[in-house]
A and B are shown apart, each in its own frame.
Chain A
Amino acid sequence: MRKLSLVLASFLAVAFTFATMPAKAGSHVVEACLITKTDINPFFVKMKEGAEARANELGVKLSFFAGKIDGDHETQVRAVETCIASGAKGILIAASDTKAIVPVLKNAQDNGLLVIALDTPLEPITAADSTFATDNFKAGELGGAWVAAKLGADAANAKIAMLDLNESQPSVGVLRDQGFLSGFGIDIKDPSRWGDETDSRIICNEVTNGNEEGGRTAMEKCLQRDQDINVVYTINEPAAVGAYEALKAIGKDDGSVLIASVDGGCPGVADVERGIIGATSQQYPLLMASLGVEAIKAWAENGTKPENTPGLDFYNTGVNLVTDNPAAGVDSITVKEGMDRCWG
């Protein structure tokens, strides 16, 4: 019996090794890796789905990796190393630490891989061969400008709650936060971090982890400081939904509080329609992903690299403010259009 188990075990080990061996050089399947910040944020879940769909259409074999939380840099480093070892032709990465990831990506480039940054530009932006990104600062800015325009003269004594991502201040959180304040008209001091502003209109900076429960608790903590908050910036739509629940609990869901958010997923746009969120900045993760996959295929086959949007260091996949309550001087699209273009 023992000998049989031994034979069985070694057979399985050999079979497993063959099954996981990378495709031999010379096979016609282009391999690529998609590395996202996390695999639980719906934004990246959609990005992965978009990449997978395009990869299937183009005959590209895609491997997926993700950090455990936004900011998990270590897992991404290991993913890049695994990718290099597996013989892939390109890496699509939404980096958690846009500075620290650069050396290992340079290593990938030296090994002949194309490095494409998705969603968040690397620092420096030229560390990637190409960047398909959204301008998170602009996304926040649109929301801030919209709120300021809506308040008009009252913007001077607004009370603002800033519902951010987490204490380690990942770039997406900083850009959206600082963009919002900048669009609103507040001096952001150091643009590389939130929380250093001195404007008395900012009541609080609380963290949400980007989910509903965090949004609710953060909003409550802000309300504990000042119950007259009338502007809420949120890092993403789930956090906004949580914040709304907290406001509803004290009867402030009557439209007296303006909630701005970012992401533009279909559930989020539906919440704009329902009046839960005042306006949200819509981004296009599916577009980023499919453009990225196409670029790797072109690189593998012809050695060509993608082009940037004229005047920018990256290909801007765009951001639009979605609201049914437009403000003068701030570009926006309607909820209906937002629903047509939404993801999720």
Chain B
Amino acid sequence: MNKISEDISKDLKDQPKFSSEIGSKDQDHHSFELGEQTTVKKIQHFLHGNPTIVPVIILILSVIGFGFIAGGKFFSAFNLSLIVQQVTIVGILAAAQTLIILTAGIDLSVAAMMVLASVFMGKLSVEMGIPTLPAIMVGMISGVATGAFNGLLVTRLRLPPFIVTLGTWNIFFALVIFFTGSQSIRSSDIEINAPLLHFWGERINLGGFVFTYGAFLMIGIFVFLWFLLNKTAWGRHVYAIGDDKDAAELSGIRTDRMLVSIYAVAGLVVAIGAWVSIGRVGSVSPTSFYEGNLDSITAVVIGGTSLFGGRGTIIGSLFGALIVGVFSSGLSIAGLDVLWQRFALGCLIIIAVGIDQWIRKVSN
């Protein structure tokens, strides 16, 4: 015991020596090398601090670029407002997808969930004579239920979301074909029996630009989700879970419950998209939006959200969807064959993610 206290007092005697030495020693290891930064590095730092700027810049550059390549036709009010209409559904799906991807998950079944919800809305109101609003409610419930189903499988079975939603994509899609026999519910029948289903497809003319109500709803959804993610505890928990699930759990967040709620909210957004899609397409078409799942992921990724979770903004996904629409339209007007449109989109995805990775690698 005495030896120990001797050792301790010896150590204590060393303390003042140590602290007095601090003043004199070179303090360089405490500072960050801000020294000489090249312009590229400065840009990289700036982008790192404001990641949403990247998709905005890409969008502006591509609009200007296609303006040159495709000429006046691209810049017309007619065309620009058409692009917004074309990306509305994928945009809403991308909003839902962002929630999932922020948790380091991925949802391959969003489009199938959407079509399933629209089938419920259409079948109940048009073919079974149920009043339209309750039918729409059933569709919403379907969205929440299918979303929660995904969430439960992810949390209870502890399977990767990729695997779970790969399975549920096929399941929901098969159910859609089963319920409809692949037959669409016609636009004219919907117009007669349940015109409310077409509501979000109604158009208004604002100084030459034609927007659908659905486009405004899409923006509203993004604003609402932005508020949810940035101004509420629930939203911050989403980021926390995506960043480090274990740390989130340890800090008191009930991650399993949160995940199910996140998937359910995504499902609700998807169901809203289902209602809007009926306005866009006119009919309830079981075979439509077959590539919607991957299209939504494309928009999210181009919008700067990391597939590894915890990083990214919801507004980025809106710009991502718009960028895809701009490219698709611009290349088409420029007269490019359809397969080159697809090729260009592939290149765009890689470039966009590459830029995002470069920004993340901010180092000294």
Contact = CB atoms under 8 A, between A and B. Distances in A.
Interface of A: 39-42, 45, 69, 167, 195, 204-207, 209-214, 216-217, 220-221, 223-225, 227, 238, 241-242, 245, 249-250, 267, 270-271, 274, 276, 344
A11 B316 CA distance: 54
Contacts of A39: 177, 182
Given A42-B183, A205-B338, A211-B287, A242 B281 contact: yes
17 contacts: A40-B182, A42-B183, A167-B342, A195-B337, A205-B337, A209-B290, A213-B281, A213-B285, A216-B281, A221-B328, A221-B333, A223-B82, A224-B329, A238-B285, A241-B187, A245-B282, A267-B183
Best-surrounded residue of B184, B203, B286 (most CB of chain A within 10 A): B184
Contacts of B226: none
Contacts of B213: none
Please list the 8 inter-chain residue pairs (A to B) with the smallest Cβ-Cβ separation, ordered nearest first: A213-B288, A212-B285, A245-B282, A211-B287, A221-B332, A167-B339, A45-B182, A42-B182
Given A167-B338, A241-B187, A224 B82 contact: yes
B280 A216 contact: yes
B184 A238 contact: yes
A220 B281 contact: no
A221 B328 CA distance: 9
Interface in B265-321: 277, 280-283, 285-291
B86 interface: yes
Interface in B327-360: 328-329, 332-333, 335, 337-339, 342
Contacts of B210: 249
Contact of B332 (A204, A212, A267): A204
Given A42-B183, A211-B287, A241-B187, A216 B337 contact: no
A250 B86 CA distance: 14
Interface string B181-220: 1111011100000000000000100000010000000000
Contact of A238 (B287, B290, B342): B287
A98 B74 CA distance: 40
A40 B177 contact: yes
B182 A41 contact: yes
Contact of B287 (A204, A206, A210): A210
Nearest to B291: A209
Specify which of A213, A227, A276 lies most central, judged by the most chain B CB atoms within 10 Å of its CB.
A213
B340 to A, nearest CB: 9
Contacts of B339: 167
Contact of A211 (B74, B89, B290, B329): B290
A199 B329 CA distance: 23
B184 A241 contact: yes
Nearest to A216: B281
A211 to B, nearest CB: 4
Nearest to B340: A167
A180 to B, nearest CB: 18
B289 A267 contact: no
Contacts of A210: 287
Contact of A212 (B73, B283, B335): B283
A209 B342 CA distance: 14
Nearest to A209: B290
A61 B138 CA distance: 39
Nearest to B292: A213
Nearest to A225: B333
B282 A41 contact: no
A275 to B, nearest CB: 10
B329 A214 contact: no
Interface centre among B283, B337, B342 (most CB of A within 10 A): B283
Given A211-B285, A213-B285, A213-B288, A227 B78 contact: yes
Contacts of A270: 186
B132 interface: no
Interface string B243-285: 0000000000000000000000000000000000100111101
Contact of A216 (B188, B282, B286): B282
Given A212-B184, A245-B282, 14 more contacts: A195-B337, A206-B332, A209-B287, A209-B291, A211-B288, A212-B281, A213-B280, A213-B289, A216-B281, A220-B85, A242-B282, A249-B203, A267-B186, A344-B183
A335 to B, nearest CB: 15
Contacts of B338: 167, 205-207
Nearest to B288: A213
A51 to B, nearest CB: 15
Interface string B80-93: 00100110010000
Contacts of A204: 332
B62 interface: no
B155 interface: no
A142 to B, nearest CB: 24
Contacts of A245: 187, 281-282
B79 interface: yes
B183 A212 contact: no
Interface string B88-103: 0100000000000000
Contacts of B281: 212-213, 216, 242, 245
A214 B89 CA distance: 13
A242 B86 CA distance: 13
A267 B184 contact: yes
Contacts of B289: 213
Given A39-B177, A40-B182, A224-B329, A241 B282 contact: yes
A41 B181 CA distance: 9
Given A211-B287, A212-B281, A242-B282, A224 B73 contact: yes
Interface string B14-36: 00000000000000000000000
B78 A224 contact: yes
A274 to B, nearest CB: 6
Contacts of A206: 332, 338
A225 B332 contact: yes
A118 B220 CA distance: 50
A220 to B, nearest CB: 5
A242 B184 CA distance: 11
Contacts of A40: 177, 182, 286-287
Nearest to B330: A224
A206 B337 CA distance: 8
A204 B328 CA distance: 14
